[in-house]
């Protein structure tokens, strides 16, 4: 299993920063795929990025990264592979949920059949949503929910708006067993 990230031109610096962090952490080399942008609109650009990675990685499971998903410990990918190998599911995502505002995070393991399962164009009742929301409603039985991937956008107010985590201020909220944290919007968990 490889770690994979799609690098849009507008994210070149932060993607390269993450890739260098991962290499420095434990020598893991990330497969970087330069984005083919069909659109700049969210979530279509993100959905297409995952589809692009799944197409290239077809037949092999991969760990999907984004610039705000930060591996925390040496050996992170090895330990994630180990759990994935025994979970008997196609996907492995974070077990963290914050209903009703945040029900799923897309960082995690995508199996060898991802391109056959997740449609290229998420539309219809999922218009305006990412592939991860599509998965929640259409492939939930194929997902292993793991605490090794910690997912939290921040502290939510009553309107569902998250105040992003800041580090080191919020270091105490990271679980001891977390191997990857998503979402560190400012990449503050990366040792400068």
Quickly count: other Cβ atoms within 10 Å of residue 21's Cβ. 17
Q: Which residues, 6 or more positions from 33, have their beta carbon under 8 angstroms from its beta carbon?
A: 4, 5, 6, 7, 52, 53, 56
Residue pair 76/143 in contact (Cβ under 8 Å)? The answer is no
pLDDT class for 74, splitting at 50, 70, 90? very high
The pairing of beta strand 149-151 with beta strand 143-146: unpaired
pLDDT in tens, 91-126: 999 999 888 888 899 999 999 999 999 988 776 556
Residue extents of the structural domains in the chain? 2-182
Residue located via tokens 């974070």: 94
pLDDT greater at residue 40 or residue 98: 98
C-alpha–C-alpha distance, residues 95 and 104, integer Å: 8
The 3 state secondary structure assigned to 89-129 is CCEEEECCCECCCECCCCCEEECCCHHHHCCCCCCHHHCCC
pLDDT of 135 over the 80 cut: yes
pTM: 0.94
Q: What is the CATH number of domain 2-182?
A: 3.90.550.10
Looking at residue 44, its pLDDT comes to: 80
Going from the C-alpha of 30 to that of each of 4, 14, 95, 131, 155, the distances in angstroms are 6, 14, 24, 22, 30
The CA-atom distances, in angstroms, between 183 and each of 40, 56, 69, 151 are: 21, 25, 6, 6
* Residue in the block written with tokens 């077809």: 58
């Amino acid at each position: 299993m490889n770690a994979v990230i799609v690098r849009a031109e507008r994210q070149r610096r932060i993607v390269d920063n993450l890739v260098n962090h991962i290499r420095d952490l434990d020598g893991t080399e990330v497969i970087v795929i330069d984005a083919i942008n069909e659109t700049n609109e969210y979530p279509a650009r993100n959905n297409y990025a995952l589809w692009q990675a799944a197409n290239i990685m077809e037949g092999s499971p991969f760990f999907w990264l984004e610039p705000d998903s930060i591996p925390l410990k040496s050996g992170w990918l090895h330990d994630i592979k180990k759990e994935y190998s025994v979970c008997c599911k196609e996907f492995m995502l974070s077990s963290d949920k914050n209903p009703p505002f945040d029900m799923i995070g897309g960082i995690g393991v995508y199996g060898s059949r991802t391109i056959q399962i997740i449609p290229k164009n998420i539309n219809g009742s999922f218009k305006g949503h990412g592939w991860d929301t599509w998965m929640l409603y259409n492939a939930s039985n194929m997902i292993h929910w793991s605490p090794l991937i910690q997912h939290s956008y921040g502290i939510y107010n009553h309107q569902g708006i998250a105040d992003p985590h800041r580090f080191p201020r919020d270091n105490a909220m990271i679980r001891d067993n977390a191997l990857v944290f998503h979402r560190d919007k400012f990449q503050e968990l990366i040792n400068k």
